[in-house]
């Protein structure tokens, strides 16, 4: 992770809409759950798109894929509700095999044009290795690439995906792109006072982190320590960090 001083994330306009796009059920809770809790508290309308079905999220031979897909959707909806998010959309692509296709880009462009978010949050498609302990999941990169190019140029360019115009979906210009799981962070969101909310949302993902002591002493302890370590780097109790891209619309008259 880059050690240049990070800036606090820019303030959110009143009533802003935020769209969070992620590859798997639980990615949002691990990566940006504290930020979502904060943004909802600040009055944002937050929606989620989960690109894959989560069906590869277990090595337990006793877990039938269909059962796991249904259970993970239920877990994801519960986790979203925990943070005040009711709008959760599942695109249902097979987990573990995601590609940044034009079909996926169009599906994400459709959602962006419908919801007209001020801010889009997605996974940084350029991250291959994270620190010295994690090879980034290729689904994260694929979802991030499709989401990034849905933000620009597809959402705002009228001639791209003309079939969306036929659905009544006019172009929309996103103002900010937040890239999570990035090796080039520029901004942080302080999450110390909402860390309990983030952990509560994570507890919904029982198929992924277990329950009881297994969860508390495993994934929850790990993510708390990680966010606190990031927080220490910027002088707050805990933090989530992003590469933030801001698109200046002031000169465009809209
Ligand atoms: Zn994931």
Domains and CATH numbers, the chain: 7-248 (3.40.50.10320)
Q: Rounded to the nearest whole angstrom, what is the distance from the C-alpha of residue 57 to the centroid of ligand 1?
A: 9
pLDDT at 248: 77
Q: Rounded to the nearest whole angstrom, what is the distance from the C-alpha of residue 24 to the centroid of ligand 1?
A: 5
Residue 254 has pLDDT above 60, yes or no: no
* Helix (H), strand (E), coil (C) string for the chain: CCCCCCEECCCCCCCCEEEEEECCCCHHHHHHHHHHHHHHHCCCEEEEEEEECCCCCCCCCCCCHHHHHHHHHHHHHHHHHHCCCCEEEEEEECCCCCCCCHHHHHHHHHHHHHHCCCEEEEECCCCCEECCCEECCHHHHHHHHHHHHHHHHHCCCCCCCHHHHHCCCCCCCCCEEEEECCCCCCEEEECHHHHHHHHHHHCCCHHHHCCCHHHHCCHHHHHHHHHHHHHHHHCCCCEEEEEEEECCCHHHCC
Distance, in Å, from the CA atom of 181 to the CA atom of 235, rounded to the nearest integer, reads 20
Q: Rounded to the nearest whole angstrom, what is the distance from the C-alpha of residue 41 to the centroid of ligand 1?
A: 25
Q: Rounded to the nearest whole angstrom, what is the distance from the C-alpha of residue 143 to the centroid of ligand 1?
A: 10
pLDDT band at residue 249 using 50, 70 and 90 as cut-offs: low
Q: Rounded to the nearest whole angstrom, what is the distance from the C-alpha of residue 43 to the centroid of ligand 1?
A: 27
pLDDT at 189: 98
pLDDT tens string 143-154: 999 999 999 999
Q: Rounded to the nearest whole angstrom, what is the distance from the C-alpha of residue 93 to the centroid of ligand 1?
A: 13
Q: Rounded to the nearest whole angstrom, what is the distance from the C-alpha of residue 113 to the centroid of ligand 1?
A: 25
Residue 109 has pLDDT above 90, yes or no: yes
For residue 17, give every residue at least 6 positions away whose Cβ sits within 8 Å of its Cβ, in sequence order, or none: 44, 45, 46, 47, 115, 116, 117, 118, 119
Residues near ligand 1 ion, CB 5 Å cutoff: 24, 27
Q: Rounded to the nearest whole angstrom, what is the distance from the C-alpha of residue 2 to the centroid of ligand 1?
A: 22
Q: Rounded to the nearest whole angstrom, what is the distance from the C-alpha of residue 27 to the centroid of ligand 1?
A: 5
Mean pLDDT throughout 139-167?
98
pLDDT tens string 179-232: 999 999 999 999 999 999 999 999 999 999 999 999 999 999 999 999 999 999
State phi, psi for 179 to the nearest 5 degrees: -100, 120
Q: Rounded to the nearest whole angstrom, what is the distance from the C-alpha of residue 254 to the centroid of ligand 1?
A: 36
Angle, alpha carbons 145-146-148 (nearest 5°)? 65
Q: Rounded to the nearest whole angstrom, what is the distance from the C-alpha of residue 195 to the centroid of ligand 1?
A: 20
Q: Rounded to the nearest whole angstrom, what is the distance from the C-alpha of residue 136 to the centroid of ligand 1?
A: 9
């Amino acid at each position: 992770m880059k050690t240049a001083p990070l800036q606090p994330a820019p303030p959110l306009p009143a009533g802003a809409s935020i769209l969070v796009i992620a590859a798997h059920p639980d990615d949002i809770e691990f990566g940006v759950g504290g930020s979502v809790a904060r943004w909802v508290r600040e009055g944002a309308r937050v929606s989620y798109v989960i690109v894959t079905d989560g069906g590869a999220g277990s090595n337990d031979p006793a877990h039938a894929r269909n059962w796991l897909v249904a259970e993970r959707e239920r877990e994801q909806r519960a986790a979203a509700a925990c943070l005040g998010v009711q709008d959760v959309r599942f695109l249902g692509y097979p987990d573990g095999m995601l590609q940044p296709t034009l079909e996926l880009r169009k599906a994400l462009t459709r959602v962006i044009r419908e919801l007209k978010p001020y801010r889009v949050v997605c996974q940084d498609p350029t991250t291959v290795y994270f620190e010295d302990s994690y090879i980034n999941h290729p689904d994260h990169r694929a979802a991030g690439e499709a989401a990034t190019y849905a933000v620009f140029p597809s959402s705002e360019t009228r001639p791209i995906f003309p079939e969306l115009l036929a659905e009544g979906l006019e172009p929309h210009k996103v103002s900010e792109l937040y890239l999570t799981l990035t090796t080039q962070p520029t901004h942080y969101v302080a999450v110390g006072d909402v860390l309990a909310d983030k952990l509560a949302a994570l507890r919904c993902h029982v198929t992924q982190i277990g329950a009881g002591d297994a969860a508390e002493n495993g994934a929850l302890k790990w993510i708390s320590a990680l966010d606190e370590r990031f927080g220490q780097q910027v002088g707050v109790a805990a933090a989530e960090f992003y590469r933030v891209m801001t698109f200046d619309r002031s000169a465009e008259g809209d």
